[in-house]
Chain A
Amino acid sequence: MLQIACPHCGPRDENEFSCGGEAHIARPKQPDAISDAEWADYLFMRTNPKGALAERWCHTVGCRRWFNVERDTVTHTILRVYAMGAPRGGGGGA
């Protein structure tokens, strides 16, 4: 089980949180102006990386606030925890 450092509550066990999937997927600004394929890309297509992945997590049974986590999908270690809305930056490590 992971220990996740909630930016608001500090380190807690994984089962207090829920994973909300890949982060930084921007909703197209003008949905009417893009093609069906572009819209499908936004809705369904995922890079599904083997390595560093940026995700949104929610502290569901704690403060119930959302934040971003960068996690390695091979070693299952947390690389970085950062605020909602902050850019991904940093890359791996950090």
Chain B
Amino acid sequence: MPLGLLKYGFSKRHPAPRALPPRPDLKDSYDVVIVGGGGHGLAAAYYLSKYHGITNIAVIDKGYLAGGNTARNTAIIRSNYLTPEGVRFYDESVRLYQGLSNEFDFNILYSERGHLTLAHTDASLRTMRWRAEVNQHCGVDSELIFPDEIAKLAPSLNLSRDVRHPILGALHHKPGAIARHDAVAWGYAIGAASRGVELHTRTEVTGFGIEGGAVTSVVTDRGTVRCGAVLQAVAGSSSRVAALAGFKLPIRTVPLQACVSQPLKPFLDPIVVSGSLHCYISQSSRGELVMGGSVDPYSLYQQRSTLDFKEGLMANMLELFPFLSGVKLLRQWAGIADMTPDFSPVMGETPIRNYWLDSGWGTWGFKATPVCGKRMAETIAIGKAPDILDPFRLDRFERFDLVGEGGAASVGH
């Protein structure tokens, strides 16, 4: 039981939140420089400082703390993927998430809702059955259910057969959850900063010093620092930063849009996803409906929202929940997703020694924040990626050993 939470709950004058220290001057040298202060970079700093005794770390971000995709995602956490490599990896993350409020002594509003992936065709029913089998084989709770059971879990869902894409069944993944994404980043940031990690926001990395095939320094717009190792965790900017270090990635940067409605009384427990209709929806703890679809059809480094996205999304959403036609949208936005050819991340070694990579998070990386932070920290501390990360290494592309993650597919959540 997180005692801090209990005290907060019982206190009349709610205690002031713990603040992050102000930005210090850059030192000459760090053991580890982490490029990218999103959830992933902050988590790696946290696990390095808490579990590996490495505290001489700078986390460098060109913007404000965790203002990239960490601030823009729809916060869905699940492990019902299709490949055993993926299921194993994301399952470790779900388990870490379940204990994260305790670990931080700080509430991340982790809310286990159950996750329904709807099937509208025989072909997708078959895929759901396949995913359920792979999941169960890996010890993950997933099963195929049919409209009578779906109706109990989501009574407001339109289960009529008199629609264009009737719902035939669903993959039900009970551990599916949402959390407050900003709180996840803050929890890691506070934990890392309290152990001596420096957070350098509004600082852009513009180059690297490389000697004898190893990274030795990081160039920023506030000066150059020497470093023992670098972790690159910059999501949509992955190709750009890798190019500064002199290597290429199999990544394209593509916008992913989302929106939320005005708040409504709680009526929707599970997270509902339809791959065929390219839409998904969940209800936040504030009552807002959080909705999204598939990525934009071309690459773009822009965080704009478009009318065609919302029109396309709502056309399908209204088939699932017709009464939403009277509900207003409150906010809309986009993030820039680092998409890979096989819908799996790219982590671990790079062609440059002591330069570690955490990328290829596309539309699916929020749920991986804890496992990735923990395992990348281990990689940096030991100098070698552990088994669980091995399938996702960069050189899988030249070994033609891809991890085709059909469980991410068009609606990658």
Contact = CB atoms under 8 A, between A and B. Distances in A.
A73 interface: yes
A10 B250 CA distance: 34
A7 B131 CA distance: 45
Interface string A5-41: 0000000001100110100000000000000110111
B118 interface: no
Interface string B267-310: 00000000000000000000000000000011111101011100
Contact of A48 (B251, B307, B400): B251
B369 interface: no
Interface residues of B, number: 24
A37 B400 CA distance: 10
A45 B250 contact: yes
Given A18-B297, A76-B302, A46 B251 contact: yes
Contact of A1 (B249, B250, B308): B308
Interface centre among B249, B251, B299, B306 (most CB of A within 10 A): B299
B250 A46 contact: yes
B47 to A, nearest CB: 29
Interface of B: 239-240, 243, 248-253, 297-302, 304, 306-308, 341, 397-400
Given A1-B307, A15-B308, A50-B240, A45 B299 contact: no
Contacts of B302: 73-74, 76
B296 to A, nearest CB: 9
Contacts of B240: 48, 50
Contacts, number: 59
Contacts of B253: 48, 50, 73
- Chain A contact residues: over half helix, strand or loop, or mixed? mixed
List of 10 A-B pairs having minimum Cβ-Cβ separation, nearest first: A48-B239, A44-B250, A40-B398, A19-B298, A45-B248, A37-B398, A40-B397, A44-B397, A50-B301, A36-B398
Interface residues of A, number: 24
Contact of B252 (A14, A18, A48): A48
Contacts of B249: 45-46, 48
Contacts of A73: 253, 299-302
A45 B397 contact: yes
Contact of B399 (A1, A36, A45): A36
19 contacts: A19-B297, A37-B398, A40-B398, A40-B400, A41-B248, A44-B341, A45-B249, A46-B239, A46-B248, A46-B249, A46-B250, A47-B243, A47-B248, A48-B249, A48-B299, A53-B299, A71-B298, A73-B302, A76-B302
A37 B398 CA distance: 5
Given A48-B299, A73-B299, A74-B301, A36 B250 contact: no
Question: Which residue among B304, B307, B308, B398 has the maximum number of chain A CB atoms within 10 Å of its CB?
Answer: B398
A46 B346 CA distance: 14
B413 to A, nearest CB: 23
Nearest to A40: B398
A19 B297 CA distance: 7
A69 B265 CA distance: 48
Contacts of A19: 297-298
A53 B301 CA distance: 11
Interface string A43-61: 1111110100101000000
Contacts of B248: 41, 45-47
Interface in A41-94: 41, 43-48, 50, 53, 55, 71, 73-74, 76
Nearest to A69: B298
Contact of B298 (A39, A47, A55): A55
Given A1-B308, A43-B341, A74-B301, 14 more contacts: A19-B297, A44-B341, A44-B397, A45-B397, A46-B249, A48-B240, A48-B252, A48-B253, A50-B301, A55-B298, A73-B253, A73-B300, A73-B302, A76-B302
Nearest to A39: B398
Contacts of B397: 40, 43-45
Nearest to B309: A1
Contacts of B250: 44-46
Nearest to B255: A76
